[in-house]
Amino acid sequence: MKNIIFVAPPAAGKGTVSNFLTEKYGYIHISTGDLLRDARNNNDEIAKTITELMDSGKLVSDEIVLELLKRCIDNMDKSKKFILDGFPRNIAQANTLDDLFNELNITDYAVIYLDIDFDEALKRTLGRITCPNCKKGYNKYSTELKPKIDGICDNCGCSLITRSDDSEETFKIRFDNYMNETKPVLDYYKDKYKLVTISAKQDINNIYNSVEGVI
């Protein structure tokens, strides 16, 4: 099995596919968005900065994200394969990740681009509901991805919430950020022969099958 990096616009399904791989293959799921959402709960200045940036749809500084990511990688079980969901989001982060992989001697990874257009990503964003406890994501507009009981997490029974950055207005800013900052990362990995493109507009089971073909 390979380590996986997901690069995609907001709401393409990075989290959903990561949950599938974690449950079926025992991957460690590292989502920088989740790390930041946890860090927002600390009662300090950094938490305030993170909250302001995330709620306005902007990227958090590389410095803050890297600090959280490094701490997470230091503590993880290194014998397991991992998924990076939401990192790298710009070329500087991709360069830093190369350095980190060199330090850790990691060469066996694939970068999966989940390809989705603006309209579909917006629709998914507006239907997205998430478990604040176990982080599992659902979509109220999708038959396959709806929770079994409305508003309740199938995994842990907690009440599902709508993320504070999943409004239409914030989505547009996040999508713009993706186009300007993150999209160039695709070419970066294409040049390294690491990039695989999978359409995120297919039925979810077809997406799972395509991803299984890569890992």
Burial class (CB in 10 A: 0-12, 13-18, 19+), 101: middle
Question: Which residues, listed in sequence order, are joined to residue 3 by a DSSP beta bridge?
Answer: 109
Query: Would you say 58 and 65 are in contact if contact means Cβ atoms under 8 Å apart?
Result: no
Amino acid at 82: F
Report the nearest approach of ligand AMP to the CB of residue 86 (Å).
3
Neighbouring residues of 34: CB distance < 8 A, sequence distance ≥ 6: 135
SS3 110: strand
Amino acid at 111: V
Report the nearest approach of ligand AMP to the CB of residue 35 (Å).
8
SS3 71: helix
Report the nearest approach of ligand AMP to the CB of residue 173 (Å).
8
At 155, list the tokens. 């995994």
Q: Which is nearer to ligand AMP, 73 or 79 (CB)?
A: 73
Q: Which is nearer to ligand AMP, 12 or 211 (CB)?
A: 12
Report the nearest approach of ligand AMP to the CB of residue 78 (Å).
21
Q: Which residues bind ligand AMP (CB under 6 A)?
A: 10, 31-33, 36, 53-54, 57-60, 65, 86-87, 89, 93, 165, 174
Burial class (CB in 10 A: 0-12, 13-18, 19+), 16: buried
Q: How far is Cα 111 from Cα 114, in angstroms, rounded to an integer?
A: 10
Q: Which is nearer to ligand AMP, 124 or 148 (CB)?
A: 124
Amino acid at 129: I
Nearest-CB residue for ligand AMP: 33
Q: Which is nearer to ligand AMP, 33 or 211 (CB)?
A: 33
Report the nearest approach of ligand AMP to the CB of residue 137 (Å).
9
Burial class (CB in 10 A: 0-12, 13-18, 19+), 44: exposed
Q: Which is nearer to ligand AMP, 149 or 183 (CB)?
A: 183
Report the nearest approach of ligand AMP to the CB of residue 15 (Å).
7
Q: Which is nearer to ligand AMP, 32 or 209 (CB)?
A: 32
